[in-house]
């Protein structure tokens, strides 16, 4: 198994993701600089990590969405490769139009960093199958612009088509309908604000994030 973690200027969770994937799955993990125009051969999982790509100038993720490597990320996702955007990575996926909606400033205009409980609203995706019927999992959030927003028709479609994967039990940032993570219609692109890379071992307070990475690679 092979994974690629994309590194943008300002990424600060790229090494966290590498370690989390390696320890959770034993997969080989390659770090890919954003200016590259190719991905490693036969990659099974692509991760866009958290951080502050390009210093969050313009809009969070807007500049990173135009990085050269994103053309290859999009092409791989179109081929069905599992792709995960975590926190800033979720913002990048939305800005790249790989997922609908946008991430706005948190409702109370404050940075939120704390453990959160999540409801697994769709356990039939390639990212959540390993939760084996569990309805709640624990991860952490750390964001100032994690307020997921979409218009009502889009929200209705996401709900109706099973694209809402995670929902906050106690919504920390004002996200529409408490949405914490969504997938694309094909089910191979996941964006979520909580950090599975900060919850992959019991010593971190939760090992629930490990299951997400294990599920994604098992499906490959």
Q: What is the full per-residue pLDDT of the chain (220 aa) written as tens digits?
A: 999 999 999 999 999 999 999 999 999 999 999 999 999 999 999 999 999 999 998 899 999 999 999 999 999 999 999 999 999 999 999 999 999 999 999 999 999 999 999 999 999 999 999 998 889 999 999 999 999 999 999 999 999 999 999 999 999 999 999 999 999 999 999 999 999 999 999 999 999 999 999 999 998 8
Domain count, the chain: 1
Q: Is 58 left (phi over 0), alpha (psi -120 to 50) or beta?
A: left
Q: Where in the sequence numbering do the catalytic residues fall?
A: 87, 195
How far is Cα 52 from Cα 48, in angstroms, rounded to an integer?
A: 12
How far is Cα 22 from Cα 19, in angstroms, rounded to an integer?
A: 5
Looking only at the bridges linking them, the beta strands covering 28-33 and 136-143 are unpaired
- Domain residues for the domain of 35 are 2-218
Tokens of 24: 């959770």
Tokens of 132: 């084996």
Kindly report the pTM of this predicted structure: 0.97
What's residue 22's pLDDT? 98
**Scanning the structure block, which residue is given the tokens 């994103």?**
70
Residue 131's domain is classified under what CATH number?
A: 3.40.50.880
């Amino acid at each position: 198994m092979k994974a690629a973690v994309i590194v943008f200027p300002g990424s600060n969770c790229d090494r966290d993701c590498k370690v989390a994937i390696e320890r959770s799955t034993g997969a080989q993990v390659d770090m890919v600089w954003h200016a590259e125009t190719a991905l490693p051969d036969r990659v099974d999982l692509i991760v866009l990590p958290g951080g502050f790509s390009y210093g969050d100038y313009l809009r969070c993720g807007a500049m990173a969405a135009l990085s050269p490597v994103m053309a290859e990320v999009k092409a791989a996702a179109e081929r069905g490769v599992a792709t995960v955007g975590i926190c800033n990575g979720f913002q990048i996926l939305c800005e790249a139009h790989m997922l609908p909606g946008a991430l706005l400033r948190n409702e109370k205009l404050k940075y939120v960093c704390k453990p959160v409980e999540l409801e697994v609203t769709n356990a039939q995706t390639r990212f959540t199958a390993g939760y084996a019927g569990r309805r709640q999992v624990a991860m952490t959030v750390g964001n100032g612009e994690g307020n997921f927003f979409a218009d009502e028709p889009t929200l209705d479609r996401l709900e109706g088509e099973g694209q809402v994967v995670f929902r906050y039990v106690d919504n920390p940032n004002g996200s529409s309908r408490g949405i914490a993570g969504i997938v694309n219609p094909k089910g191979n692109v996941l964006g979520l604000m909580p950090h599975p890379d900060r919850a992959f071992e019991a010593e971190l307070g939760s090992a629930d994030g490990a299951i997400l990475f294990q599920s994604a690679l098992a499906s490959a």
